[in-house]
Amino acid sequence: MTRSIRAGVSIVVFAKLWDSVPFWRWVAVVLATLSLALLVAAMIAREPPDFSAMPVIAIVRDGEQHPVWAIRLARAAHQIAADSLRPQSPPADHVYQLWLLASDAATPHPIALLPQSERKVIAVTPENARMLAGAGELEVTLEPVGGSTAPGPTGPVLFRASLENSS
């Protein structure tokens, strides 16, 4: 008899939990947290791309056509590498900012601030990665430290490059 009472109590408790909105909210929060943790772990565990094996999609040149930066694209990783070919020191309180002007766009998209020397790996949006693999032009402008706060460039275009179609 005691066993059947316990079973009845267990069914009642289970039924109350099943119908409880706070219980299901708690379950949803736990599952969402677990999913986010697994996603972050998967992103961290992913091997970084080997940019030395990636094709150069653009050589950014100065006004005298000297190469300044080589841009490589790891499209699947949504990253680019900007390799400084000749150290470029911007004037004090300024930085060089890379912009993408896709062939079908009226205004340039900001990509990133460029390194003065060495290589800089830069995360790009999936949309920008797709556009970088197509036709268009890269422009480098001189901007205040931190980059342009406007939707477009605020400084002069100092360097340019045509995208080499890597599709």
* Domain map (residue ranges) of the chain: 2-45, 51-162
Q: pTM to 2 decimals?
A: 0.69
Total number of residues shown for the chain: 167
pLDDT band of residue 7 (cuts 50, 70, 90) is low
The pLDDT value given to residue 46: 67
**Beta bridge partner(s), residue 58:** 71
pLDDT average, residue stretch 125-144: 90
Which CATH fold topology does 51-162 show?
A: Immunoglobulin-like (2.60.40)
Residue 103 has which token pair? 């062939």
Averaged pLDDT for residues 79-95? 90
CB 157 within 8 A of CB 141: yes
Cβ neighbours of residue 132 closer than 8 Å, sequence gap 6 or more: 57, 71, 73, 75, 80, 100, 124, 163
75 pLDDT tier (thresholds 50, 70, 90): confident
**Section 113-135 average pLDDT:** 89
* pLDDT exceeds cutoff 90 at 53: no
Mapped onto helix, strand or coil, the DSSP state of residue 74 is: strand
pLDDT score of 167 more than 60:
no
Q: What distance in Å separates the CA atoms of residue 101 and residue 161, rounded to the nearest whole number? A: 10
Q: In whole angstroms, how far apart are CA 35 and each of 29, 32, 42, 76, 114?
A: 10, 5, 11, 22, 35
Question: For residue 132, with 0-12 CB atoms within 10 Å meaning exposed, 13-18 middle and 19 or more buried, which class applies?
Answer: buried
The predicted structure's pLDDT at residue 97: 95
Is pLDDT of 2 > 80?
A: no
Cα 105 to Cα 110: distance, rounded to the nearest angstrom: 13
Q: What is the DSSP letter of 20?
A: -
Check residue 3 and give its pLDDT. 67
